[in-house]
Homo-oligomer: A and B are copies of this chain.
Amino acid sequence: MRPSGRAADALRPIKITRQFTRYAEGSVLIEFGNTRVLCTASIDEKVPPFLKGRGQGWLTAEYGMLPRATGQRTQREAARGKQDGRTVEIQRLIGRSLRAALDLKALGERTIMIDCDVLQADGGTRTASITGGYVALADAIRFLKSHKLLKEDPLRRQVASVSVGIHNGTPVVDLDYAEDSNAATDMNVVMDDSGGFIELQGTAERGSFRFEEMLAMTELARKGIQELLEAQRQALAGEP
């Protein structure tokens, strides 16, 4: 039995609110149950130095957690003067995952910056960030298209992410904090709409995990991600 009473393959309620704030080219509040992340996409008509003159664009991501997003306040990284290791690891994952959605040549010499700021954290903030970040990215691309700034559509694939894990011996999807802090294995999966893997990061928190468990987890992830891809499509189909 899961602490939340959910079935092993049941996601938490997913809610995607577009245009949550007014100024960003894409601004999405994504909720996976009590986890709430504000994802914005900002367009910068420049590329980083290592790409200058290469005729291609770039996407990068930053991640932050408001100090009191969690049960215990965490120190503000800006006050501490550096981002901690977990933050760095997560924002690199978000960046790689959403870069995979794009044809960087088709984007042209500009950068899209995805900011994921966690307003409330109940597990799964990195997978919510990727899933919501994709919608913000899609809105930013629409902005570019509506301003006639693109020759071809740089969005090549749809990307979403979910966590899976082994909790009390059972593979489960979309772990909340109560499960996550207690799971034997934790795996974050990022997939595209063709069913291919973009990222797969599995960690044994206790002992190691078997090949069969890995297969069961990736199957749960595949199914959960299909639902998330559908939620993204519905959000993007409606009025913002």
Looking at the complex, which one of B24, B78, B100 makes contact with A77 (CB distance below 8 Å)? B78
Chain A interface, DSSP helix/strand/loop, else mixed: mixed
- Complex interface: stretch among A2-10, A141-149, A201-209, A232-240: A201-209
Query: How far, in Å, is A46 (CB) from chain B's closest CB?
Result: 12
Question: A51 interface residue, CB < 8 Å from B?
Answer: no
Size of chain A's interface in residues, with CB distance under 8 A? 64
List chain B residues, Cβ under 8 A from A22: 34, 120
State the oligomeric state as a number of copies. 6
> Most B CB atoms within 10 A — which of A38, A79, A100?
A79
Question: A27 interface residue, CB < 8 Å from B?
Answer: yes
Q: Which of A167-200 contact B (CB under 8 A)?
A: 187, 191-192, 194-200
Please state if A82 and B81 are interface contacts (CB–CB under 8 Å).
Answer: yes
Query: With A23-B71, A68-B27, A70-B23 in contact, is A200–B202 under 8 Å at CB?
Result: yes
Please state if A68 and B115 are interface contacts (CB–CB under 8 Å).
Answer: yes
* Additional A-B contacts beyond A23-B70, A62-B79, A100-B204 (9; CB < 8 A): A21-B36, A21-B69, A22-B120, A62-B76, A73-B115, A86-B92, A89-B92, A198-B203, A199-B203
